[in-house]
Every structure is written in C-alpha cells, then in structure tokens.
Amino acid sequence: MWIAEVDRLDRLTHSRFNLNESVNVLIEEHRCREPGFPPKMVRIQFVLDDIPHQLTVFKPVEQVTLADYPPAWLLISLQQVDAIGCSCC
C-alpha cells in the first residue's frame, strides 16, 4: 500500500508542475521530533534545470492530496538555494 501511495504522489508531482517523465522525484516520509510539529511529514524533492526543488507537507504520505501542493506558478518558491536551518526541513 505504501508503495502505491508514493507512486500516487510521484504522479501528482509530475502533473502539478508539468515535469518531464525523465525528472526523478524523491518522496520521503519522516517522523518529526521538533516540539509542536505533527508526528509525520512528507518531503518531495526533484531537480529541474540543475536546481534542486523541495516541498514539505506536514502530513503522512497517505493523507497528502493535490490541495497540499502549491499552484504550478509557485514552482520557483520550491527552489533550494540555501539551507533554511531547521532540523525538520
């Protein structure tokens, strides 16, 4: 079941951001240890034009929906230029 959910998120990511099929998407679920954070989060990462992009959703994999993704025109906001400094992201 978990693999099917990860595959679903892979398809959602490609669809939302109109990614070429050759773009690999890494989907990881993590347990949050920071006080005040939900117990699980999903990190979605991919590289586009040699620039890493990352989206973090503070839900378990099976609860992430298309509504949790930003609009496609906000793709630039997912670029990882510098580390943000928190241990969760």
pTM for the structure as a whole: 0.84
C-alpha–C-alpha distance, residues 72 and 77, integer Å: 10
Q: pLDDT, tens digit, for every residue of 39-56?
A: 999 999 999 989 999 999
C-alpha–C-alpha distance, residues 69 and 56, integer Å: 9
User: What proportion of the chain, given as a percentage, has pLDDT over 90?
Assistant: 74
Q: pLDDT, tens digit, for every residue of 47-82?
A: 998 999 999 999 999 999 999 999 999 999 999 876
Mean pLDDT for 15-30 is 95
In what side-by-side order are the strands of the sheet with 51-57? 25-31, 40-48, 51-57
